[in-house]
Amino acid sequence: MEKQWYDDEAFYVEQKKYGLWDSYDKDGKGIVTSLNEEQCVRATRWYLKFKFEKNIDENVKSYQGTMDYKL
């Protein structure tokens, strides 16, 4: 399937096996997998906007916790 570029070639989407849609950035790095093209484009735009505004790759935090309970 031919690549379909969006938003001034910021990303592209392709239909893959079993009808799934994947989006990729300019470098070919996978971003989102979705059930249809419209959802894939919308989710990718949201992700890229959030990444640009919040620098999510630089500010990754992880949390660990435990929970004690009795049955």
Residue with tokens 């890229």: 48
Beta-bridge partners for 31: none
Dist CA 57 CA 18 (whole Å): 30
What does pTM read for this prediction? 0.67
Greater model confidence, 23 or 1? 23
What 3 state SS string does the chain have? CCCEEECCCCEEEEECHHHCEEEEECCCCEEEEECCHHHHHHHHHHHHHHHHHHCCCCCCCCCCCCCCCCC
pLDDT at 43 (0 to 100): 94
16-20, 41-45, 46-50, 64-68: segment of lowest average pLDDT:
64-68
| Tens-place pLDDT, residues 5-43 | 777 778 999 998 889 999 998 888 999 999 999 999 999
